[in-house]
C-alpha cells in the first residue's frame, strides 16, 4: 500500500557488503555484461524500503509515496553507447503508475508505463532504451501522477553497445516452436524491424551510416532486404542483384541484426512465374550464408490473384532448394491476397489452416496497412496467430499504396495485438521515397542524418519510437 511521506533516504545493503554495487551476470555466448542494481541500494526520494511483499530480489524493494516526483535514483557504471534499461516492478492496483525516466539529466521517456500487475507480489518488467556515457551515469525514475509510482525492485542495465548485446548475440539461431518464433533458448520472442524499399530504386538509403543508425539509434532487431524481381529488379541483371544482396547481408550481419532476404515478387501475382529464378537465387544465397544464425528467407512477397492451393505448391517446390544448404533457418511463406492470408482475395486464414504447407520450421506471412485494413484484417491476424505461425513481414501506418494519411490509432491496435501474441513485425519502409510511408524526408539519402528525428516524416517518428520503446526484453532462461 502507498502512504504519503516526504523525505530522502539512502538505502543500503551494508549487511550484505553490497553497498552501491550491482549484481553482474554474463549471458552465454555474449560479450556484454548485464548488470542488475537493486532499488534498495539506490537513492530514494519520497519513499521507503520495504520487504512485506514476496517475490522481490535482494533484501527488499522501494515503495514510492503517492506523490508527483517521488523517485528512485541509481548511479551505475557503464560503457559508452546504447543500453536497455529494465525496471522490475509490482503494481497491485488496476491503474497505470507512469514514471518519467531521465539519464544524466536527459529525458528518455516522459511517462514510461507501469501497468497493474494484478497483485503486489506479482513482478514484471518495464523497459526503455537510452544512451549512456562511459563511467558513472545518473538514472532517475520519478512519479508523474499523484498516485505515485509502482513498487520498484531493481534496475537492470543491458549493454547493447558491443556485439554481446545485439539481437543475434542474445537470441542466436531462431526456430519455430508451436505457433511462435523462438530463440536459441527455446523461448518465444518478438522481433521488430524495418524493410528497405526496392533495392533497384533506393540502394543509397542502405549504407554504413544508415545501418549504424538502424542498429544503434533505432534499436531495430532486423532488416528486410526487399529485392524486387520485376519492375527493374532482379530479372534485369541477376548477377548484379545477387551480389548486392550478398554485400548487404554481410553489412547487416556485422551489426548484430537479423536479415530477412525478401524475394519481392508482386506482378505477376503467381509466384510460379519466377520459380526457376527463385531456385537459382536462393540456392546461391543459402550456400553462402546458410551457416549464419541470423538469416530468414522470405520466398514470396505478395502472391495475388492466385489460389492458396497453387501458392502452396510453389512453397513446397522452393523450400527444398534452401534446405539443401541451410537446414536450420526459418522460412517465411507468402500468403494469398497480397499477403493478407486471403482476405484481400475473398478468402481467409482457414484456407491455410486447412491446407498447410508440408514442411517444418516455417511461418506464414501477413501484410497490412492501417489506413486501409481495419477490423476484418485485425481479427484475421488475431485468429490466425492462435493456429499457425505468423510473421508480419510488411505493414504501414498509411493506406495500402504506401501513401496518404497515417492512421496511428489503428496502427497501435495492431502493435498491441502483436505484442500480446509475440508476432514479429516489419515496417515499410526505410527510405526517402516521397510517399508518406517512407520514414525519411526526400533528399535524406545517402548523406543522412539517419539517427534522431530531424529528417523523419511523421510515420518515421512514430515507428522509431515504437522500435525503441518498449525496449527488447529477450528471455534467456
Which residues are marked as active site?
Answer: 302, 394
Other beta carbons within 10 Å of 326: 20
Q: Does a cis peptide bond (omega within 30 degrees of 0) precede residue 185?
A: no
| Angstrom distance (rounded) from CA 176 to CA 54 | 35
Give me the DSSP letters along 243-270: HHHHHHHHHHHTTT-EEEEEEE--SSS-
431 CB burial (10 A radius; 0-12, 13-18, 19+): buried
Q: Which grid cell sits at 70?
A: 517521488
Alpha-carbon radius of gyration of the chain: 23
Q: Which grid cell sits at 457?
A: 516524416
Q: Do residues 35 and 160 make contact, with C-beta atoms less than 8 angstroms apart?
A: no
Give me the DSSP letters along 168-217: HHHH-S-EEETTEEE-TTS-B---EEEE---TTT-GGGSSHHHHHHHHTT
C-alpha distances out from residue 160 to 79, 136, 394, Å: 10, 17, 26
| Angstrom distance (rounded) from CA 222 to CA 142 | 32
Provide the sign of the torsion angle of the four alpha carbons 420, 423, 424, 428, taken in this order.
Answer: negative
| Type and span of the H or E element at 225 | strand 222-228
C-alpha distances out from residue 247 to 212, 262, 301, Å: 15, 15, 21
DSSP state of 466: H
Amino acid at each position: 500500500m502507498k502512504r504519503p511521506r516526504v523525505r530522502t533516504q539512502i538505502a543500503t545493503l551494508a549487511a550484505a557488503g553490497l553497498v552501491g554495487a550491482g549484481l553482474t551476470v554474463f549471458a552465454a555466448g555474449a560479450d556484454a555484461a548485464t548488470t542488475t542494481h537493486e532499488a534498495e541500494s539506490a537513492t530514494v526520494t519520497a519513499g521507503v524500503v520495504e520487504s512485506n511483499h514476496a517475490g522481490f530480489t535482494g533484501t527488499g524493494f522501494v515503495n514510492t509515496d503517492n506523490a508527483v516526483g517521488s523517485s528512485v535514483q541509481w548511479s551505475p557504471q557503464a560503457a559508452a553507447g546504447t543500453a536497455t534499461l529494465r525496471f522490475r516492478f509490482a503494481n497491485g492496483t488496476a491503474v497505470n503508475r507512469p514514471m518519467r525516466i531521465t539519464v544524466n539529466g536527459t529525458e528518455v521517456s516522459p511517462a514510461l508505463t507501469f501497468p497493474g500487475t494484478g497483485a503486489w507480489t506479482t513482478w514484471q518488467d518495464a523497459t526503455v532504451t537510452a544512451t549512456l556515457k562511459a563511467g558513472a551515469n545518473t538514472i532517475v525514475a520519478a512519479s508523474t501522477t499523484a498516485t505515485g509510482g509502482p513498487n520498484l525492485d531493481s534496475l537492470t542495465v543491458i549493454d547493447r553497445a558491443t556485439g554481446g548485446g545485439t539481437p543475434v548475440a542474445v537470441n542466436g539461431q531462431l526456430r519455430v516452436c508451436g505457433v511462435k518464433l523462438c530463440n536459441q533458448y527455446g523461448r518465444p520472442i518478438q522481433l521488430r524491424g524495418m524493410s528497405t524499399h526496392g533495392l533497384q530504386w533506393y540502394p543509397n538509403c542502405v549504407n554504413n551510416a544508415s545501418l549504424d543508425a538502424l542498429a544503434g539509434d533505432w534499436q531495430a532487431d532486423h532488416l528486410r532486404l526487399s529485392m524486387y524481381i520485376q519492375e527493374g529488379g532482379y530479372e534485369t541483371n541477376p548477377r548484379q542483384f545477387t551480389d548486392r544482396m550478398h554485400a548487404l547481408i554481410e553489412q547487416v550481419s556485422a551489426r548484430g541484426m537479423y536479415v530477412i532476404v525478401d524475394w519481392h515478387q508482386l506482378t505477376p501475382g503467381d509466384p510460379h512465374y519466377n520459380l526457376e529464378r527463385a531456385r537459382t537465387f536462393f540456392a546461391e544465397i543459402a550456400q553462402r550464408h546458410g551457416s549464419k544464425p541470423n538469416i530468414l528467407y522470405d520466398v514470396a512477397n505478395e502472391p495475388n490473384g492466385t489460389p492458396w492451393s497453387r501458392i502452396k505448391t510453389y512453397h513446397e517446390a522452393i523450400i527444398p532448394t534452401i534446405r539443401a544448404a541451410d537446414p536450420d533457418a526459418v522460412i517465411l511463406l507468402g500468403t494469398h491476397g497480397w499477403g493478407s492470408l486471403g482476405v484481400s482475395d475473398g478468402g481467409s486464414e482457414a484456407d491455410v489452416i486447412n491446407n498447410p504447407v508440408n514442411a517444418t520450421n516455417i511461418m506464414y506471412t501477413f501484410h497490412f496497412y492501417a489506413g486501409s485494413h481495419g477490423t476484418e484484417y485485425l481479427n484475421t491476424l488475431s485468429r490466425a496467430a492462435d493456429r499457425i505461425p505468423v510473421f508480419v513481414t510488411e505493414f504501414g501506418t498509411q493506406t495500402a499504396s504506401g501513401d496518404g494519411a497515417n492512421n496511428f490509432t489503428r496502427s497501435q491496435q495492431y502493435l498491441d495485438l502483436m505484442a500480446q501474441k509475440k508476432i514479429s513485425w516489419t515496417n515499410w519502409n526505410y527510405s526517402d521515397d516521397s510517399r508518406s510511408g517512407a520514414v525519411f524526408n526526400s533528399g535524406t539519402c545517402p548523406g543522412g542524418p539517419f539517427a534522431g528525428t530531424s529528417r523523419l516524416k511523421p510515420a518515421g517518428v512514430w515507428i522509431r519510437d515504437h522500435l525503441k520503446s518498449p525496449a527488447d526484453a529477450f528471455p534467456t532462461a
